[in-house]
Chain A
C-alpha cells in the first residue's frame, strides 16, 4: 500500500492492471472518503448515543421546558415537554437511519428481481413489467408515498410498503437495461450451453456483472428516502410520538421558531448533513465504478 502502486501507467494499461490499481486506490477517492468518514461519525453518534448522553430521549420533565442551549446540564436544551434535545437528536437519528436503510433495501431487492426477469426474458414479460413501471413513474414520488401512507395508516410498516411500492421502479429500469445488454454477451450463451437454469444464469452470472449501477443509485435513493421519512413524520404520518425522530422534532419545534430556533434548526441540519454524507458516497462510488475511470 505504498506509492509504488499509485503512479498511473503511461498509455492504456491492461485491464488487469487497471482493476488492481483501482482497488488499491479506492481510499484515495476524496469524495468517497469524505462521505464515508462523515457517515461513520453520524452512525457512531446515533448508535453510540448512550455513551454521549445520560438522558432518556422520551422522559418528560415538565419542570424544565424549553431550556436554552447549554443550560442546566442540557447540551442542546430541552423541548416544550422538558425532554433533552441532544438525546432526542441522537436516538431519533437511530430511528431515521434504520428506517431509511430498510426502506432502501426492500425496493432494491424487489426492483432487481423484477428488472432481471424483464431484461432476461424480454418479450411479453418485459412489455407487461415495463408498462407497470411507466405507470408508477408517472406519479411524483412524494405525492404517491404520502397518499399510500395515508391510505395504509401511519407507522413504520406503512412507510416500508409505500416506499417499496414506489421506489422499486428505478431499480427495475436500471437492472432491466443493464441485463438486456449483458445477456447478449457470449458468456451467457456459454452458460446456456452448459445447461444452467435461467435462475442460476441470472443470479450467478448476470447480476454480479450489472449490480454496481443499482448500488450507486441506492446511495442517492437513500437520501430521498430519509427526506421522505422525515417529511412523513413532519406531517404526522410517520414515526409516531413519543418515539423521537428528526421529522417530528422539526414539526414540534416550529411553534417556537422565533424564540427557541434551535429546536427546528438542529434536526434540520442533521438531515442535511446525513444527506450530504450519503450523496458524497454515491458520487464517489459512481466515479470509482464508472468504466474507464482513471
Chain B
C-alpha cells in the first residue's frame, strides 16, 4: 500500500458563471486516496461534495469550470485531458455510482445491455462475451436469476435491485476507483445496509479504492477508512474515521456528530447546528463557519484559516480546535 497515490486532488477551484456574479462552489479542496482505501466526503447539502466528485471525472455542468488546481489519477492530470482520452479513464479505470438509480438507468434499455455496454466499449469484448460478463456481474451483486433478469427494463426492478445494477455497471470493467454519489440516500435503511455491505465487500475483494460522498455519518463509519468534512466549498477537517468521529477537531464536525442520533446514548437530545450554510455568492469573511460557531473569537472573523496538517493524516482548518477536544473531554 506504499508508494504512489491513487488519486490526488490539490487545491481544486471550481467556478460557476462568468466573471460578474461568479460563484465558487469549490474553493481550494485537497485530498488524496491511496490504493485500496475507502474515503468518505461528508457535509451538508450545497457544501460542494457532489460537485467535487463530478469535477474528478470532468462531469461538471456546462456553465461550471475548473479554474485552478489539479486532479491527478495514477500520474495523469484529469483536468486537462482531451475528451477522448478522458473517456478511456471514465468507466474503464474509474467507475461511478449515482444517488437515484431509477433516473441514472436508461428507461428504454434492458438492464443487461446497460451492464454489458462498458465491457463491450472498453474491454473490446464481443457481444457474447459481454453478455456472459454481465450475467456474471449480476450474480456477483446478488441479482437472482440473471438469465431472466437480463432482459428486464429498469422499471421492473425494485430500488435496491436497481442500485445493484448500478454497482454492477460501475464494476463492469474492473476499475481501480469507484466514486459514489450518495448511493444509499434513496433507499430505505435495511436495503441501505445490504447495499453498503455489498459495496464494501466487493471493493475489498478486488482491491478497488472507494470515494464515498454522503451526508449520512453512520454510512461513512460503516464503509470508510478515512473521512474529509466539507463546509462551504472547503475541507475543514480530515483524518481517519475513528479519530474524526471520536475526537473531532472542528466545531462543524462536532456539530454534525451532535445532530445525528447515537444508539449508544439513547435519550440524549439532538443539538442542531444553529443558522444556515452561507450563501456561496458572498461567503462570510475569515473562517466561513464563524457565524454559526459556538467557539468563535474575534480572530475567526478576520483571518481565513488554511487546512493545517497535524500529526499523521489529521488536518483541521479551525484556529481553536483544542476547544472541541476540551468540550468532548468535559463531557465524558
Residues of A within 8 A of B (CB): 15-16, 19, 122, 185-187, 189-197, 200, 204-205, 208-209
Instruction: Mark contacts of B104-146 with chain A using CB atoms, 8 A cut-off: 1 yes-contact digit, 0 otherwise.
Output: 1111110000000110011000000000000000000000000
Please tell me the size bucket of the interface on B. 20 to 34
Contacts of B222 in A (CB 8 A): none
Within 8 A of A (CB), among B67-106: 84, 86-92, 95-96, 98, 100, 103-106
CA distance A258 to B122 in the complex (A): 73
Contacting pair A192 B104 (CB below 8 A): no
- Interface check B249, CB cutoff 8 A: no
User: Do residues A205 and B109 form an inter-chain contact, with CB atoms below 8 A?
Assistant: yes
CA distance in complex: A139, B98 (Å): 47
Cβ–Cβ contact A194 & B106, under 8 A: no
Q: Which of B212-258 contact A (CB under 8 A)?
A: none
Please tell me if the beta carbons of B121 and A195 are within 8 angstroms of each other in the complex.
Answer: yes
Is B267 an interface residue when CB atoms closer than 8 A count as contact?
Answer: no
CB-defined contacts of A190 to chain B, threshold 8 Å: 96, 98, 104-105, 166, 169
Contact between B169 and A194 (Cβ–Cβ < 8 Å)? yes
Q: Are A187 and B107 in contact (CB under 8 A)?
A: yes
Q: B105 near A196 (CB under 8 angstroms)?
A: no
- Is B103 touching A16 in the complex (CB atoms < 8 A)? no
A189 close to B98 (CB less than 8 A) = yes
Q: How far is the CA of A189 from the CA of B97 in the complex (A)?
A: 11
A residues near B87, Cβ cutoff 8 Å: 195-197
Decide if B156 is an interface residue (CB 8 Å cutoff): yes
Q: Mark B156-196, 1 if CB is under 8 A from A, else 0.
A: 10000000001001000000000000000000000000000
Shortest 8 CB-CB contacts between residues of A and residues of B: A195-B90, A195-B91, A194-B91, A193-B96, A186-B103, A195-B87, A190-B104, A187-B106
Find out whether the CB atom of B59 lies under 8 angstroms from the CB atom of A193: yes
5 other contacts beyond A193-B57, A195-B121, with CB at 8 A cut-off? A19-B155, A122-B62, A192-B90, A208-B106, A209-B107
Q: Which residue of B lies closest to A184 (CB)?
A: B61
Between A16, A192, A208, A209, the greatest number of chain B beta carbons within 10 A of the residue's beta carbon is seen for: A192
Residues of chain A within 8 A of B92, CB atoms compared: 195
Which chain B positions have C-beta within 8 A of A208? 106, 108-109
Closest to A185 in B: B103
- Min CB distance B175 to A, Å, is 10
CB atoms of B98 and A186 under 8 A apart? yes
22 contacts between A and B (CB under 8 A): A15-B155, A186-B98, A186-B103, A187-B104, A187-B106, A189-B104, A190-B96, A190-B104, A190-B169, A191-B106, A193-B57, A193-B59, A193-B91, A194-B95, A194-B96, A195-B87, A195-B89, A195-B91, A196-B91, A197-B84, A204-B109, A209-B106
Interfacial residues, chain B to chain A (CB-CB below 8 A): 57, 59, 62, 84, 86-92, 95-96, 98, 100, 103-109, 117-118, 121-122, 153, 155-156, 166, 169
For B106, the chain A residues whose CB sits under 8 A away are: 187, 191, 205, 208-209
Distance between Cα atoms of A192 and B83 in the complex (Å): 10
Residues of B near A204 (CB, < 8 A) are 109, 117
Q: Which of A15, A16, A122, A186 has the most CB of B within 10 A?
A: A186
A266 to chain B, nearest CB (A): 44
Structural contact, B156 and A194, CB atoms closer than 8 A: no
CA distance A6 to B109 in the complex (A): 26
Determine the distance from Cα of A189 to Cα of B122 in the docked complex, in whole angstroms: 17
Q: Which B-chain residue is minimally distant from A212 (CB atoms)?
A: B108
Cβ-defined partner of B155 (8 Å) among A16, A186, A195? A16
B109 near A195 with CB under 8 A, answer no
Q: How far is the CB of A181 from chain B (nearest CB, A)?
A: 13
For the complex, give the distance between the alpha carbons of A130 and B23 in Å: 31
Complex Cα–Cα for A90 and B87 (A)? 55
**Which residues of chain B are within 8 angstroms of A197 by Cβ–Cβ distance?**
84, 87, 121
Contact of A192 among B59, B88, B122, B153 (CB under 8 A): B59
Residues of the B chain whose Cβ atoms lie less than 8 Å from the Cβ of A16: 153, 155-156
Closest Cβ–Cβ distance, residue B105 to chain A (whole Å): 6
Report B-chain residues with C-beta under 8 Å of the C-beta of A194. Answer: 90-91, 95-96, 117-118, 121, 169
- Report B-chain residues with C-beta under 8 Å of the C-beta of A209: 106-108
Q: Tell me the minimal C-beta distance from A6 to chain B in angstroms.
A: 21
- Complex alpha-carbon distance, A16 and B169, angstroms: 22
From residue B55, how far is it (CB to closest CB) to chain A in Å?
12
Cα distance, A66 to B138, chains bound together (Å): 74
Question: A186-B98, A187-B107, A205-B109 are contacts. A193–B90 as well, Cβ < 8 Å?
Answer: yes
* In the bound complex, CA of A21 to CA of B260 (Å): 45
Task: Note all chain B residues with C-beta closer than 8 A to A196.
Answer: 87, 91, 117, 121
Of chain A, the residue at the smallest CB distance from B57 is: A193
Shortest Cβ gap from A144 to chain B (Å): 35
Q: Is the CB of A187 within 8 A of B122?
A: no
* Residue of A122, A196, A209 with most partner-chain B CB within 10 A: A196
In Å, the complex CA distance between A122 and B89 comes to: 25
What residues of A have a CB within 8 angstroms of the CB of B105 in the complex? 187, 190
Inter-chain CA distance A16–B157, complex, in Å, is: 10
| Residue in chain A with minimal CB distance to B152 | A16
